Amino acid sequence: MTEVAVIIPAYNEGERIANVIEAALDSTLATEVIVVSDGSSDNTVEVAQRYPDVVVVNLAQNLGKGGAMAAGVKSCTAPIVAFVDADLKGLESGHIDQIIKPLLENRCKMCVGVFRGGKIGSNASMAVTPFLSGQRALRRELFESLPYIGELRYGVELALTNHAKNKRAKVMRVVLKGVSNCYKEEKLGLMKGIAARTKMYKEITEAMVRTRRRRPVKPGGKPAWKPPTWPRIPR
């Protein structure tokens, strides 16, 4: 059986991570579950350690999401790695299997899960920016071939999507029905949540600039970045 590591990067998600861990442990396709606490100051590590079958990586300082993901990959040897966010609502083991199965069947190099049927806001954001989804599985070599991935923070998903496009690696999308994420404003309160969201958008923009594919510049103009195209998903 091909080894598949499910990696859950987490920063202060002690109140929310248990359901995500249990869904990962119940996956029929995952062979290993890894929680990476990204310098958490709450009880994220203690919650993860309640599950004896979970490998817990406790980072001493906050590296950002890209750094946490890279630490998780470094801690395993699986040829396929899958990532799920620690704050998801409605996540079930079948959803995780959905993003892993196309990799095991060699139908793509990366599979991205997008939300449908959860919170309206989560659905809307995924409809506009599916390439930012944190729910994805990919070949290890594709992840590791982006040399500065550990330096990226919230821009890591966009960077991976652009990198796959630049490598001409096939990417698939699957619908994760009934799944949604927890807004930053819910976790941190309105003002701190807005500040955190603003910082996230800044990091995404930086990753976009760093990883976009360079196109020939036409006389008098600059090449415009275009988001990757995706196949239509039936509703």
Please report, for the chain, the start and end positions of each structural domain, with discontinuous segments joined by +. Answer: 4-211
Determine the topology of domain 4-211 in CATH: Spore Coat Polysaccharide Biosynthesis Protein SpsA; Chain A (3.90.550)
Query: Which pLDDT does position 226 carry in this prediction?
Result: 44
149-176 pLDDT, tens digit per residue, is: 877 777 788 889 988 998 999 999 999 9
Which of 200 and 150 is assigned the larger pLDDT? 150
Task: Please report, rounded to a whole number, the percentage of residues in the chain having pLDDT higher than 70.
Answer: 71
- Closest CA relative to residue 11, chosen from 83, 82, 87, 77: 87
- Residue 196 pLDDT > 70, yes or no? no
Q: Give me the sign of the Cα torsion angle 140, 142, 143, 147.
A: positive
Helices (H) and strands (E) in the chain, counts: 9, 7
Please name the amino acid found at residue 191: M
Which of 14 and 235 is assigned the larger pLDDT? 14
